[in-house]
Amino acid sequence: MWGGCYAAGRLPQPRKPPLPYNPGVNRFPSTPDLDLLFRPRSVAVAGASTNVDSPGHDYLEAMKRQGFSGPIYPINPKADTVAGLRAYPSLREVPGQVDLVISCVPAPAVPELVEHCGEKGVRFLHLFTGRFSETGDAEAARLEQAIARRAAELGVRILGPNGMGLYHPAGGLSFRPDLPTERGGVAFLSQSGNNAVEVITRGNARGLAFGKVVNYGNGLDITPGELLRYLADDPETTVIGGYVEGVPDGRGFYEGLRAAAARKPVIIHKAGRTRAGARSAASHTAALAGQAELWSTVLRQAGAIEARNQEQLLDLMVGAALLRPPAGRRIAIVGGGGGRSVQSADAAEENGFEVVPLPHAVRERVRERAPMLADWVGNPVDQSILAGSGLSSNGLLELMLEGDHYDLAIANVGEDWFFGRPDAADRLKHACGRLAAIAAASPKPVAVVLGPTETRNRDHRALVDEVRDDFVARGIAVFPSVERAAFALGRLAAAAERRRA
Closest by alpha carbon to 449, among 296, 336, 331, 325?
336
CA angle 223, 252, 308 (to 5 degrees): 75
* Residue 168, SS3 per DSSP: strand
Q: Rounded distance, CA 323 to CA 49, Å? A: 44
Domain ranges in the chain are 2-320, 324-500
Q: Looking at residue 451, what is its pLDDT?
A: 85
Q: Looking at residue 7, what is its pLDDT?
A: 27
Residue 493's alpha-carbon distances to 164, 169, 488, 496, in angstroms, are: 34, 30, 8, 5
Q: Rounded distance, CA 242 to CA 460, Å? A: 35
CATH of domain 324-500: 3.40.50.261
Q: Does the model's pTM come out above 0.75? A: yes
Q: Looking at residue 13, what is its pLDDT?
A: 32
DSSP state of 108: G
Per DSSP, the residues of 184-199 read: -SEEEEES-HHHHHHH
Q: Rounded distance, CA 426 to CA 428, Å? A: 6
Q: Please, what is the end-to-end C-alpha distance for the chain in angstroms?
A: 19
Cβ atoms of 452 and 480 closer than 8 Å: yes
Across the chain, how many H-helices and E-strands are there?
18, 18
Cβ atoms of 303 and 321 closer than 8 Å: no
pLDDT by residue for the chain (501 residues), tens digit each?
Answer: 222 232 222 333 333 333 333 444 443 333 458 999 999 999 999 999 999 999 999 999 999 999 999 999 999 999 999 999 999 999 999 999 999 999 999 999 999 999 999 999 999 999 999 999 999 999 999 999 999 999 999 999 999 999 999 999 999 999 999 999 999 999 999 999 999 999 999 999 999 999 999 999 999 999 999 999 999 999 999 999 999 998 888 899 999 999 999 999 999 999 875 565 445 544 445 444 457 788 999 999 999 999 999 999 999 999 999 999 999 999 999 988 778 899 999 999 999 999 999 999 999 999 998 888 888 999 999 988 887 777 889 999 999 999 899 999 999 998 888 887 888 899 999 999 999 999 999 999 999 999 877 888 899 999 999 999 999 999 999 999 999 999 999 999 999 898 887
The neighbour count for residue 431, using CB atoms within 10 Å, is: 20
Per DSSP, the residues of 443-489 read: SS-EEEE------S-HHHHHHHHHHHHHHHHTT--EESSHHHHHHHH
Closest by alpha carbon to 341, among 371, 366, 378, 373?
378
* Residue 366, SS3 per DSSP: helix
Strand order in the sheet with 305-307: 165-167, 210-215, 186-190, 239-244, 266-270, 305-307
Single-letter amino acid code for the residue at 100: L
CA angle 41, 104, 197 (to 5 degrees): 80
Phi, psi of 406 (to 5 degrees): -130, 150
Closest by alpha carbon to 416, among 460, 376, 382?
460
Q: Which residues contact 402 (CB under 8 A, 6 or more apart)?
A: none
Closest by alpha carbon to 86, among 48, 41, 40?
48
Single-letter amino acid code for the residue at 389: S
Closest by alpha carbon to 140, among 111, 166, 118?
111
Pairing of strands 354-355, 186-190: unpaired
Considering the domain 2-320, what is its CATH architecture?
Answer: 3-Layer(aba) Sandwich (3.40)
Phi, psi of 334 (to 5 degrees): -130, 160
Q: Rounded distance, CA 333 to CA 409, Å? A: 6
Phi, psi of 157 (to 5 degrees): -85, 145
The neighbour count for residue 436, using CB atoms within 10 Å, is: 22
